[in-house]
Structure 1
Amino acid sequence: MIRTRSLLADGSRLRRLAPLALPTTWGAVAVAWKYGCPLARQPGLPMRIATSVVFLTVGLGMVLGVRHGLARELARARAVAAATQQALLRPLPARLDGLALAAGQLSASRGASVGGDLYEAVATPYGVRLVIGDVRGHGLPALGAVVAVLGSFREAAHDEPELAGVLQRLERALERHLRERAREEHPARAGAEPEHPAAEEFVTLLLVEVRPDGRLTVLNCGHPGPYRLGKRAERLAIGDPLPPLGVLPLPAGIVPYTAARLLPGETLVLHTDGAEEARDRRGRFFALDAALAGAPGEAPAALVRRVHAELLHHTGGRLADDVALLVVRNDRVRVPAQPAEPGLRRPRPAPSSHR
C-alpha cells in the first residue's frame, strides 16, 4: 500500500513537470550552444542577435509551460470544487410531495463555488422538512460545520417525529464538530494560535416543516424570518427565536411555532442574511422585500435566478457575504367541499298551504 501511494505521488509530480520538459531541453541546448560551440562565441551583431533570439525563445517556452501547468491545476481545482458543491448542496428536486422547489447559492469567496450557507429539503412521513442556515464566516473554513449540520439533518429529518428532536440532533452534531476542531487547532498540537478559533464558530438556522394541509411548523435559531408570497409579499411571523447553534445550549423544552400556513398557490422564500445585507457602492442595502413583491405566481427556479441577478447587479458583483435562497411553492390542489350523499340529505319542509 505504501509503495502504491509512493508511485502515485511520483506519477503526479511527473505530470506536473511534463509541460516544462521541452523548454528545459531547449534551454540546455541553448546553453550548450552558447558555451560549447565556437561559432556562438564569435563577435559581431548578427551572432548576438541570434543568441538573444535563442534565449528569448527558451524563456518564452518556459513561461508558457508554467502557465499551461497552472491552468491545468486551476481546472482540476474547479472540478473538485464543483464536485464538492454537488455533494454538499446537492440540487433539489423540482417537485417534492406536491411542492415546487428551487434553491441556489452565491459565494462571496472569489473563485469558490461553496461557502458557509447551507440548505436542504426532504420528504418525510411527517411532512416536507426544510433547513436553511448560515455558518459564521464564509468560504472554505466554514465547510466543516456545513458538512456536520447537513449530514445530521439528512438523517434526523427521517428519524425524528418532532421537529424539536431534529434540532437537538443538529446541535449535537455541531458540538462534535467544534470539539474536533478545537483539538486540531489547539496550540499544543498545532504549535501556534489557531487561525480560526472553533470557540467563535456558530450557525444560525431555520427549520420548517410543511404538513400536507399546508400548516407550518417552524423553529428559528437566530436566523432571518422567511417571506410568504401570496397576494402580497410579507414577512412571516415565526415566534421568538432561539439562540444560534454553538452559542448557548438549547433549552430543555423546545416549542415550535405552529400558527402559520402555506395555502395552495402561495410561495415561501427562505434566505440567509447576506441577501438583505448586501450593499451597493453607496452603502444602500438590497431591497429583498421589493424584489419579492414583484413575483406573484413566479416559478421557484425563475425567482431564484432573478433575485440572484438583481443582487449581483446591485452589488456590482462584489458580495460581502454568501447568499442562499430556498423557494417553496405550494402546488397542492385545494379539495372543494363535497355535497352530502342523497340518502343523507335533510328533507325539505313541505310548503304551507293557504286557503
Structure 2
Amino acid sequence: MFRIKGRVPRKVLTWGLPTAWGAMAISYKLACPLAREDSLGARVVTSAVFFAVGTGLIVHVRQALLRELRQVRKVAGAAQSALLRPPPSRVDGLNVAAAQLSADRSACVGGDLYEVIATEHGVRAVMGDVRGHGIAAIGTVAAVLGSFREAVHDEPHLDGVLRRLDRALARHLRERSCDEPVFEEFVTVLLLEIGRDGEIAALNCGHPWPYLLSGTTVEPLARTDPLPPLGPFPLPPELVPLPCGSLLPGDSLVLYTDGVEDARDAKGRFFTLQTALVEAVRHHPITSQTILRTLFTAVLHHTKGRQSDDIALLVLRNDRTQVQCSAPSGARGTARPTTTNPQPTNYL
C-alpha cells in the first residue's frame, strides 16, 4: 500500500513538469503580445523562451531515463545475487572461492553460472556459460541452475544429472520460443564429481577443462575433446563420466569460463591463464581466495577493465586432512582424506 502511494509523486513529476513547461510555451506564444511582434528583440525573447523550455524538457527526460536505468540495474543485480548466490566457503572439506564479472555494465548481470553442492554421492560442481550475456541470459541460467540443484541430490550417477540439465534447457527454450525467436541458443556445461577419496569424474559439454594445481605444477585436468554444448545437439545414448585422477589434500581445481582466456589487452593479445596460475601458486599460503584474487587482478590488469565477455572463476581446494594407511610410503593415493564432518552436508 505504501509502495503504491510512493509512486504517485514520481509519476506526477515525470509527466506533470513536461506538461507544465509545454503549456507555458504555448501560452506564451498565443497570449503574450510580445510573441506576435516581428521585431528583433521580440524574436530573441521568443527564441530564448522556447530554448529554455526545450532544454528543461531534455534535462528532465534524461534524468528520468537515468532513474529508470538505475532501477533496472538494481533489480538485475538483486536477481543475479539471488540466482548466482555465493557458494559456502567450505563444502565437505573443500575450500571454495568463486566470483563473476559481467561484460554488460548496463545490466550488471552475466550469462555465466556455477554451483558447488555436497551430496551423498560426493561433492558435485557445475560451471557453465550461456550464449550471450545481460538480462536475456538470466532465464537460461535460472533453468540450468535450478535443475542442477535438484538433480545432484536425486541422481546417483553424473550422467543422470547432465540429462536432467539437458531436458530443463530444452523446456526453457521451447517456452521462450513462444514469445520470441530463439536462434542458436546453447550452454556449455562442465560437471564434476569429487568423491570422499578425492577421485574426480567429469562430464564436459563444450566447456574449457579446468586446471589442476598440485604443488607448483599447473596442468589441465583432461585433454580429451568435450561433447558438444547443450542445446543444438542431442546427448549421445551412452554417457560415461571421464575419470580425471584425484584431488589430493593440498591440490586445487580452477574452473573458469572462456571469457578468461578470451580476454585481450590493448594490442589484441590473449590472456594466458596457465601462466597466471603458475604465478598464483608461488604465493604462500596458497588458498582458494588468494588464487581467485590473483587471477582477477591479473585479468583486470591485462584488459584494463574492458573485457568483452563475461568472466567467472571457481576455485576448489582440498583441505581435508590425511590419515596414513598401511600402504607403502611415497605412493600416490596411500592417504585417505578425512574431515571433521564425514557426512556430506546439504547446503541448499
TM (norm. structure 2) is 0.80
Aligned mates of 1:262, 1:316 — CA distance in 2: 34
**What residue in structure 1 maps to residue 195 of structure 2?**
211
**Distance in 2 between residues matched to 1:63 and 1:20, nearest whole Å:** 13
Instruction: Say whether residues 1:330 and 2:318 are aligned partners.
Output: yes
Which stretch shifts more, 172-181 or 222-231? 172-181
Provide the secondary structure at the position in 2 that maps to 1:334.
strand
Task: Indicate if the aligned counterparts of 1:82 and 1:113 stay in contact, CA closer than 8 A.
Answer: yes
DSSP 3-state at the match of 1:114: coil
What is the identity, as a one-letter code, of the residue corresponding to 2:13?
Answer: A
Aligned to 1:230: 214
Deviation of 1:56 after TM superposition, in Å, equals 4.0
Residues 85-111 of structure 1 deviation map (CA, whole Å, 9 limit, x = unaligned):
112211112222222212122223341
CA separation of 1:30/1:221 partners in 2, compared to 1, >3 Å: closer, same or farther? Answer: closer
1:228, 1:268 within 8 Å by CA — same for their partners in 2? yes
Q: In the alignment, what sits opposite 1:252?
A: 237
- State the distance in 2 between where 1:41 and 1:182 align: 58
**Structure-2 change in CA distance of 1:159 and 1:53 (3 Å):** same
Match of 1:286 in 2: 271
> What SS does the aligned partner of 2:321 have?
coil
- Counterpart residue number, 2:169: 174
Deviates more, 1:254-263 or 1:312-321: 312-321
- The one-letter code of the counterpart of 2:88 is P
Q: Which range is displaced more, 32-41 or 56-65?
A: 32-41
Q: Per residue, is there more strand in 1 or in 2?
A: 2
Structure 1 partner of 2:104: 109
Question: Could you tell me which of 66, 70, 78 is aligned with 1:71?
Answer: 66
SS, match of residue 335 in structure 1: strand
TM-aligned CA distance change 1:56 to 1:249, over 3 Å: closer
Deviations 1:9-35 (A, max 9, x none): x99697345235235424434543454
Match of 2:156 among 151, 158, 161: 161
CA contact (8 A) 2:186 2:232 kept: yes
**Alpha-carbon separation, structure 1, partners of 2:120 and 2:74:** 36
Unaligned runs of 5+ in 1: 186-193, 339-355
Equivalent residue, structure 2, for 1:349: none
- The residue matched to 2:236 in structure 1 has which SS? coil
Contact 1:107 1:323 in 2 (8 A): yes
Aligned to 1:191: none
Q: 1:221 maps to what in 2?
A: 205
Give the stretch that moved more between structures: 282-291 or 308-317. 308-317
After TM superposition, the structure 1 = structure 2 runs for residues 307-322 of structure 1, keeping only pairs within 5 Å, are 307-322=295-310
Distance of 1:266 and 1:162 partners within structure 2:
24
Give % identity: 56
- The equivalent position to 1:80 in structure 2, one of 75, 95, 110, is 75
Q: Say if 2:54 is the partner of 1:59.
A: yes
Amino acid at match of 1:94: S
- 1:183 deviation in Å? 4.1
Q: How far apart are 1:41 and its partner, in Å?
A: 6.1
- After superposition, the Cα gap between the structure-2 partners of 1:33 and 1:272, relative to the gap in structure 1 and judged at 3 Å, is closer
Deviates more, 1:136-145 or 1:224-233: 136-145
What is the Cα deviation at residue 137 of structure 1?
3.1
| 1:97 corresponds to 2:89 | no
Within 2, Cα distance between the matches of 1:209 and 1:87? 24
- Check if 1:122 corresponds to 2:120: no
Distance 1:37 1:259, change over 3 A: closer
Q: For 2:114, what is the secondary structure of its paired residue?
A: strand
Q: Is residue 94–residue 320 contact of structure 2 (8 Å, CA) maintained in 1?
A: yes
Q: Could you tell me which amino acid in structure 2 is paired with residue 36 of structure 1?
A: A
2:256 alignment partner in structure 1 = 271
Letter in 2 for 1:210: I
Provide the C-alpha distance between the structure 2 equivalents of 1:230 and 1:324, rounded to a whole number of angstroms. 22
| TM-score, L = length of structure 1 | 0.79
Q: Is it true that 1:202 corresponds to 2:186 in the alignment?
A: yes
Q: Is the 8 A contact 1:24 1:62 kept in 2?
A: no
> Structure 1 residue 71: deviation in Å?
1.7
1:128-182 C-alpha deviation (Å, 9 max, x unpaired): 2100012233334433322221110010011112112111111111222233334
Query: Does the 8 A contact of 1:88 with 1:147 survive in 2?
Result: yes
Aligned letter for 1:283? G
Tell me the distance in 1 between the aligned counterparts of 2:261 and 2:70.
33
Q: Which runs of 5+ in 2 are unaligned?
A: 327-348
Change (3 A) 1:58 1:298: farther
Letter in 2 for 1:99: L
User: CA separation in 2, counterparts of 1:54 and 1:259?
Assistant: 75
Change (3 A) 1:55 1:149: same
- CA gap of 1:251–1:27, structure 2 versus 1, over 3 A, is closer
Q: Paired residue for 2:332? A: none
Larger radius of gyration: 1
- For the residues of structure 1 that align with 2:223 and 2:152, how far apart are their CA atoms? 20
Deviates more, 1:212-221 or 1:55-64: 55-64
Tell me the CA shift for residue 43 of structure 1. Answer: 8.0
1:303 aligned to which of 268, 271, 291: 291
Q: Distance in 2 between matches of 1:88 and 1:29?
A: 49
How many residue pairs end up in the alignment?
320
Check conservation: 2:72, 2:107, Cα contact below 8 A: no
